[in-house]
Amino acid sequence: MTFDSMWSAIEPIGLEASSGGYRRYAWTRHDAALREWFAGEAAARGLDLVTDRAGNQWAWWGDPDAAVAAGRPGVVIGSHLDSVPDGGAFDGPLGVVSALAVVDALKAKGFAPSRPVAVVNFVDEEGARFGIACAGSRLITGKLEADKARGLRDADGVTMAEAMAAAGHRVEHVGPDAETLSRIGTFVELHVEQGRALIDLDRPVAVASVIRPHGRWRIDLDGEANHAGTTRLEDRRDPMLDLARTVLAARAAATELGCVATVGKVRVEPNGVNAIPSRVTAWVDARGPEETGVRAVVEAVARQSGSPAVEESWTPETVFDESLAQRLSAVLDDAPMLATGAGHDAGVLAAAGLSTAMLFVRNPTGISHSPAEFAEREDCLRGVEALTTVTEVLAR
């Protein structure tokens, strides 16, 4: 089983011909196919497959509980297999396939780990179906309440509980999972780079330093619905003009304060081509190096839009285990340290107090969450090598 054969095995699953992107959503038939593939890979390597209370899959090489009893819990590597709507091939699967390839590489060289090693497949990382990112890791750490999760609905009105049950997961077991967490001594998630840095640094692999603070806000812009042909310009209350101001304000404030801000989703009522809208709702996603800067961006946007920005989610800065990051950078030939603006299961586990780290594999264009997401095969293999080195150092 090589990296390439694993990659080809999952390549067709959930691929949407019309867009060339992936639609691999949690607890669907595509997800089931990927989970079955993962279980098969675990079995082929003689790994013990454990599914936790949230549905995350853990493939253990060695006895995790004996290691907990001995005070030396395991080394976990892996990522997720689900995707955003029309996502790329690499975000998630690169980390899972690489982790399985690491087990092969370590076994091939006769390495006998003194701590057990696991490959994890986190469920529902992207939140594409039920709207909450990192649901699998948030559930086991208690960051997402079980009852709330069970009641979340997808676009067709199906609840997460119904979707889990249909996929054969025991819904009544969903909840915080201290036993699973206790088995994790260290978690290292390898991930395709999102954003462009490594190409300019001429390096194939980086180590993550922090996940930048980020949040989502909703702004409701009210106006008055009226006829597009008969209403004089001076008589109009057109919230679409406020939306235009809001979008430009987001760009200007982000530029001035060294952040990024995006209006990627709007809802227009009544959304008719010949009607002045009665209401426009805009969602602002803002991220930056410091919380104060991000919040200043959102305040400026709200001020100029004339309406308050209602916070829908907020994630403070996540700092990965600093000494671990430095140690990994050192064993990887002084790999550069990169901050990221994207959330990950590794970030959720870090926020829950576990020792976690991330490796990023060069993405030449930086494009992610798109069919254009890419990494050279050569760089993927160098990622496997880097993760092999790291796992060997940590499990020695």
Residue 91 is a binding residue for Zn ion (CB under 5 A): yes
Contact criterion met (CB below 8 Å) for 326 and 195: no
Least distance to Zn ion from the beta carbon of 96, Å? 10
Least distance to Zn ion from the beta carbon of 333, Å? 25
Near Zn ion by CB under 5 A, which window of 85-93, 225-233, 255-263, 325-333?
85-93
CA–CA separation, 131 vs 92, rounded Å?
17
Using DSSP, how many helices (H) and how many strands (E) does the chain show? 14, 17
> What angle is formed at CA 375 by the lines to CA 288 and CA 191, rounded to 5 degrees?
50
Near Zn ion by CB under 5 A, which window of 13-21, 88-96, 213-221, 235-243?
88-96
Write down the residue that tokens 């990494």 correspond to.
Answer: 375
Least distance to Zn ion from the beta carbon of 233, Å? 47
If the CB atoms of residues 52 and 126 are measured against Zn ion, the closer one turns out to be 126
Cα separation values, 76 from 150, 179, 394, Å: 27, 14, 10
User: Which sign does the torsion angle of CA 27, 31, 36, 41 carry?
Assistant: negative
If the CB atoms of residues 22 and 217 are measured against Zn ion, the closer one turns out to be 22
Least distance to Zn ion from the beta carbon of 162, Å? 25
If the CB atoms of residues 92 and 185 are measured against Zn ion, the closer one turns out to be 92
Contact criterion met (CB below 8 Å) for 383 and 191: no
Q: Which residues are CB-contacts of 218 (< 8 A; sequence separation ≥ 6)?
A: 281, 282, 283, 284, 309, 310, 312
Least distance to Zn ion from the beta carbon of 229, Å? 48
The full length of the chain comes to 396
Least distance to Zn ion from the beta carbon of 205, Å? 16
CA–CA separation, 283 vs 104, rounded Å?
45
If the CB atoms of residues 91 and 379 are measured against Zn ion, the closer one turns out to be 91
Token digits of residue 113: 């780990």
User: Which sign does the torsion angle of CA 156, 162, 166, 169 carry?
Assistant: positive
If the CB atoms of residues 82 and 392 are measured against Zn ion, the closer one turns out to be 82
Residue 373 is a binding residue for Zn ion (CB under 5 A): no
Least distance to Zn ion from the beta carbon of 269, Å? 34
If the CB atoms of residues 52 and 91 are measured against Zn ion, the closer one turns out to be 91
Least distance to Zn ion from the beta carbon of 367, Å? 14
Helix/strand/coil percent split, the chain, to 5:
40, 25, 40
Name 50's bridge partners: 58
Cα separation values, 261 from 201, 256, 283, Å: 25, 11, 10
Residue 92 is a binding residue for Zn ion (CB under 5 A): yes
If the CB atoms of residues 92 and 347 are measured against Zn ion, the closer one turns out to be 92
If the CB atoms of residues 127 and 215 are measured against Zn ion, the closer one turns out to be 127
If the CB atoms of residues 91 and 242 are measured against Zn ion, the closer one turns out to be 91
Write down the residue that tokens 């209602």 correspond to.
Answer: 310
Least distance to Zn ion from the beta carbon of 128, Å? 11
Least distance to Zn ion from the beta carbon of 92, Å? 5
If the CB atoms of residues 62 and 95 are measured against Zn ion, the closer one turns out to be 95
Residues in the interface with Zn ion (CB under 5 A) total 2
Q: Which residues are CB-contacts of 127 (< 8 A; sequence separation ≥ 6)?
A: 133, 134, 135
Q: Residues interacting with Zn ion, by CB under 5 A?
A: 91-92
